[in-house]
Amino acid sequence: MADSAQAQKLVYLVTGGCGFLGEHVVRMLLQREPRLGELRVFDLHLGPWLEELKTGSRWGSLWRGGCGRFPIPSQAGIPTPAVEQMILVSVHMDGIRPVRVTAIQGDVTQAHEVAAAVAGAHVVIHTAGLVDVFGRASPKIIHEVNVQGTRNVIEACVQTGTRFLVYTSSMEVVGPNTKGDPFYRGNEDTPYEAVHRHPYPCSKALAEWLVLEANGRKVCGGLPLVTCALRPTGIYGEGHQIMRDFYRQGLRLGGRLFRAIPASVEHGRVYVGNVAWMHVLAARELERRAALMGGQVYFCYDGSPYKSYEDFNMEFLGPCGLRLVGTRPLVPYWLLVFLAALNVLLQWLLRPLLLYAPLLNPYTLAVANTTFTVSTDKAQRHFGYEPLFSWEDSRTRTILWVQATGGSAQ
Ligand SMILES: NC(=O)c1ccc[n+]([C@@H]2O[C@H](COP(=O)([O-])OP(=O)(O)OC[C@H]3O[C@@H](n4cnc5c(N)ncnc54)[C@H](O)[C@@H]3O)[C@@H](O)[C@H]2O)c1
Ligand SMILES: CC(C)[C@@H](O)CC[C@@H](C)[C@H]1CC[C@H]2[C@@H]3[C@H](O)C=C4C[C@@H](O)CC[C@]4(C)[C@H]3CC[C@]12C
């Protein structure tokens, strides 16, 4: 067993660390990982919020030391992306402990950039991905980022000797499938015909398979790679852009949203803070429980209620002044199908001029209209996961965020 937590100074790498989920994972690690010595935040687009780390305003961290552009040690002459290193003194329950935060602007599709970022890391939490179900990116790009990017992360772990990899997968690896079969309060062992056509779920399913298949491969140094995949359902919380889009749409429509999906269609949702916590815990326990956790998948879950996608959103948009009109869908389903198809045609026609990517398309309509909920305790049984945030707390935090954005672009 490794030294005590206080003595260990581990290097964590979070890919996609500036994304909706990634940012919460970064903050959770800074707050709740006592073994953290260096935190590498790797992303194609580094967020301005990283600048706040200098003031330490968010976590009681104190800023110490300069922030300059330092090249991370090049590996065998591999060119390294520009990095920004900040030294943080994080105040934790266990006392004051210095944490180095290294912001790395890089691309997971570039194997050499990934290898440079992974080199020397103890754990990789791989959240980077192209979450596109709206036709913004081509299938080729989605595959490049989500599949080849994941392959690059795996190979970097093997080449550089990093042994622990937690991958952010998705419920969509399972479903809803192309037949629209419901998945009603299922778990990791529930039989379900996971058949996909859309580029996004196909890419997530292949990437997850690669991660699980890599479990047990010998890394540089001869020890085995230990991997697991976490499958969040629809994540909500501070920073959820789709929630913000619904809020802005409602404001434009005079404080109203119009029901399009039957209230009986249940959708699994999970608070971003609990998803982040599950990632931190899985990364911590993967070493100690390698035999049990290695090669496993875990749905992300918490106490969020089972509701239709629209009714669930109203838990937050209602207290922000919006009203969902209709107890039943106000538009016949065939008309929604027609409008979704029309959106695809418009997207294709307008593509030479502008990117038209509305929420409604045949895929999003099918997903929204298909029950998909999980009921499981596998993460609790395997690595002691319990949600960190209650439903009430998750709801309050999300409402406060929606109110704070006020429908703005932030
Ligand atoms: N949002 C959800 O409801 C949800 C549900 C289940 C799973 N997931 C998964 O969680 C992960 C994070 O999703 P999110 O909702 O935070 O999305 P997001 O788009 O907010 O975050 C993804 C991050 O990855 C980065 N990224 C994209 N391409 C990259 C590249 N080529 N190189 C480096 N970084 C790159 C983006 O800049 C972004 O910061 C994804 O893998 C997604 O599939 C999301
Ligand atoms: C226009 C109406 C029909 C409206 O109700 C459409 C809602 C639609 C945009 C969302 C309904 C379900 C969402 C998806 C689900 O929460 C799970 C996902 C998995 C994750 O990996 C990525 C995001 C998503 C695909 C999510 C996207 C938005 C919805 C399709």
9 token code pair: 């100074």
Amino acid, res. 311: D
Q: Which secondary-structure segment (H or E) carries 26? A: helix 20-32
Alpha-carbon distance of 15 to 24, in angstroms, equals: 12
Q: 6: number of CA atoms within 13 Å, CB side?
A: 6
Mean pLDDT, rounded, for 147-164: 98
pLDDT at residue 4 in the model:
53
| pLDDT(7) > 80 | no
Q: Which of 87-101, 163-177, 248-262 has the lowest mean pLDDT?
A: 87-101
Alpha-carbon distance of 404 to 390, in angstroms, equals: 21
pLDDT at residue 157 in the model:
98
pLDDT at residue 48 in the model:
86
Mean pLDDT, rounded, for 365-389: 98
Nearest CA to ligand 2 atom 5: 368
The pLDDT-based confidence of 239 (bands split at 50, 70, 90) is very high
Alpha-carbon distance of 125 to 279, in angstroms, equals: 7
| pLDDT(94) > 80 | no
pTM for this entry: 0.92
- Quick one: which ligand is closest to 232's CA? 1
Supply angle C-alpha 168, 173, 177, rounded to 5. 155
**Interface predicted TM-score (ipTM):** 0.98
Mean pLDDT, rounded, for 380-397: 98
Q: Where are the beta strands (DSSP E) in 60-216?
A: 62-63, 68-69, 83-92, 95-105, 123-126, 164-168, 183-186
> Do 241 and 20 meet the contact criterion of CB atoms below 8 Å apart?
yes
Q: How do the residues of the chain divide into helix, strand and coil, expressed in percent and rounded to 5?
A: 40, 20, 40
Atom index in ligand 2 nearest the CA of residue 336 equals 3
Q: 63: number of CA atoms within 13 Å, CB side?
A: 13
Q: In angstroms, what CA-CA distances link 287 with 17, 163, 223?
A: 22, 9, 12
| pLDDT(410) > 80 | no
> Do 316 and 395 meet the contact criterion of CB atoms below 8 Å apart?
yes
Alpha-carbon distance of 392 to 179, in angstroms, equals: 35
| pLDDT(330) > 60 | yes
Counts of helices then strands in the chain (DSSP H, E): 13, 16
Pocket of ligand 2 (CB under 6 A): 131, 133, 170-172, 234, 242, 260-261, 309-310, 359-360, 364-365, 367-368
> Do 191 and 226 meet the contact criterion of CB atoms below 8 Å apart?
no
Q: Which of 86-90, 100-104, 167-171, 329-333 has the lowest mean pLDDT?
A: 86-90
Atom index in ligand 1 nearest the CA of residue 144 equals 31
> Which residues face 83 on adjacent strands?
104
User: In this structure, are strands 183-186 and 372-374 parallel, antiparallel, or unpaired?
Assistant: parallel
Q: In angstroms, what CA-CA distances link 336 with 29, 34, 341, 342, 347?
A: 43, 50, 8, 10, 16
Mean pLDDT, rounded, for 363-389: 98
From ligand 2's centre to the CA of 247, what distance in Å?
15
Q: State the chain's maximal CA–CA distance in angstroms.
A: 63
Alpha-carbon distance of 91 to 30, in angstroms, equals: 9
From ligand 1's centre to the CA of 219, what distance in Å?
26
The pLDDT-based confidence of 127 (bands split at 50, 70, 90) is very high
Strand, coil or helix: what is 100?
strand
Residue given tokens 């330490």 in the structure block: 56
> Do 37 and 100 meet the contact criterion of CB atoms below 8 Å apart?
yes
Q: What is the mean pLDDT of the chain?
A: 90
